[in-house]
Amino acid sequence: MSTTTAVTARALRPTVAQTFVAMMAREIRVMRRNFVSIFIRVLLQPLLFVFVFAYVMPKIGAAGGGGLFAASHAGPTFSTILVPGLVASSMIMQGMMAVIFPLMMELSWQRSITDRALAPLPIPLLAVEKIAAAGLQALIGGLLVFPAVLLIHAKGQAPSVHIGNWPMFVVIMVVGSLLAASGGLLLGTLIDPQKIQVLFALVLLPMTMLGCVYYPWSALHAVRWLQIAVLLNPMVYASEGLRAALTPQVGHMPAWAFLTALIGGTAVLAWFAMRKFTDRVLT
């Protein structure tokens, strides 16, 4: 091979960065093509929840959220409590679902992960690409919820939301999205597809109900053991972080606590997820 031919071959060979960008571009094209289905999947649950608790119940005379969060001059409306919690819930759920089910199909039924592994990209970076793509979907999912939770409410039940700390808001949205994607990648490599119902029964449902989505963490002081136990739930920190950024007038966890948990948890989950993903692809 001549020197000119060798130089040309090296120039045409894609770099790791180019391959990574190309794979991300593919993920974005898929998301754009499936935007309607993603939009419906993300909005359906929070839309129904806001409609019932912030619109229907006040209309029929029931206090949204019970006596603790009933609209009054002394406390916030229940819709104010809901905004950060539902954004966090949608973000976490979307980030996990965006990677769990496709990964299960790629690792078991289709084995299409083999094609991805043949790309000129180290397998750990392939895991990073999946985390980044799912994190992007989680971020979009969280942002899509804002119109629903801000606009659907009964008279006098409007949420009081104000982003007083933009850097904190951006950090929580981005890190929370990556945390969800990392957790989804880890679960997708560990759970047997034939036992997928376990994911809903033992992971997703308890995570949502005990994730401080419908109430602030500080309100659990009356049930001290539960207030401590829910600290194992990553959704708690996303909800409390967004509560601090969006509704600081509502009691919330200290910033150092949720930031440490979100950033540290993302790093730990991503590391474990990359290791497990690499093991599954190579076996």
Q: Kindly state the average pLDDT of the residues 250-267.
A: 94
Confidence of residue 172 (pLDDT cuts 50, 70, 90): very high
Q: Which residue has the higher pLDDT, 267 or 94?
A: 267
Q: Kindly state the average pLDDT of the residues 231-254.
A: 92
- Burial of 206 by CB count in 10 Å (0-12 exposed, 13-18 middle, 19+ buried)? middle
Confidence at residue 181, expressed as pLDDT on a 0 to 100 scale: 95
> Is the CB of residue 125 less than 8 Å from the CB of residue 16?
yes
Residue 53 falls inside a structural domain: yes
Does residue 109 register a pLDDT over 70? no
DSSP 47-107: HHHHIIIIIIHHHTTPPTT-GGG---SSS--HHHHHHHHHHHHHHHHHHHHHHHHHHHIII
Confidence at residue 7, expressed as pLDDT on a 0 to 100 scale: 43
Interacting residues of 220 by C-beta distance below 8 A, sequence separation 6+: 212, 226, 227, 230
Q: What percent of the chain has pLDDT over 70?
A: 86
Residue 144 falls inside a structural domain: yes
Confidence at residue 104, expressed as pLDDT on a 0 to 100 scale: 80
Q: Which residue has the higher pLDDT, 153 or 265?
A: 265
Does residue 260 register a pLDDT over 90? yes
Confidence at residue 114, expressed as pLDDT on a 0 to 100 scale: 62
Residue 5 falls inside a structural domain: no
Residue 36 falls inside a structural domain: yes
Confidence at residue 2, expressed as pLDDT on a 0 to 100 scale: 53
Confidence of residue 229 (pLDDT cuts 50, 70, 90): very high
Q: Kindly state the average pLDDT of the residues 32-38.
A: 76
First-to-last alpha carbon distance for the chain, in angstroms, is 37
Residue 275 falls inside a structural domain: yes
Q: Kindly state the average pLDDT of the residues 228-243.
A: 95
Confidence at residue 239, expressed as pLDDT on a 0 to 100 scale: 95
> Is the CB of residue 259 less than 8 Å from the CB of residue 241?
yes
How many angstroms separate the CA atoms of 188 and 199, rounded? 10
What mean pLDDT value characterizes the chain?
81
Where do we find the tokens 């999912």?
141
Confidence at residue 228, expressed as pLDDT on a 0 to 100 scale: 94
Token readout for 52 is: 């019932």
Confidence at residue 30, expressed as pLDDT on a 0 to 100 scale: 75
Confidence of residue 265 (pLDDT cuts 50, 70, 90): very high
How many angstroms separate the CA atoms of 44 and 92, rounded? 15
Question: For the range 52-57, what are the long-range contacts, defined as Cβ-Cβ under 8 Å and sequence gap of 24 or more?
Answer: 53/78, 53/79, 53/82, 54/78, 54/79, 54/82, 54/149, 54/152, 54/153, 54/154, 54/157, 54/159, 55/152, 55/153, 55/154, 55/157
How many angstroms separate the CA atoms of 247 and 85, rounded? 11
Residue 4 falls inside a structural domain: no
How many angstroms separate the CA atoms of 248 and 80, rounded? 11
| Domain total in the chain | 1
Confidence at residue 61, expressed as pLDDT on a 0 to 100 scale: 63
Residue 37 falls inside a structural domain: yes
Range of the domain at 118: 15-66+75-282
User: Which of 34, 36, 203 is closest to 102 using CA atoms?
Assistant: 34
What would the pLDDT profile of 178-207 be if each residue is shown by its tens digit? 999 999 999 988 887 777 777 777 888 889
Does residue 58 register a pLDDT over 80? no
- Helix (H) / strand (E) element for 225: namely helix 224-229
Q: What percent of the chain has pLDDT over 90?
A: 32
Does residue 74 register a pLDDT over 60? no
Residue 2 falls inside a structural domain: no
Does residue 35 register a pLDDT over 70? yes
Q: Kindly state the average pLDDT of the residues 132-147.
A: 88
Confidence of residue 279 (pLDDT cuts 50, 70, 90): confident
Residue type, 193: P
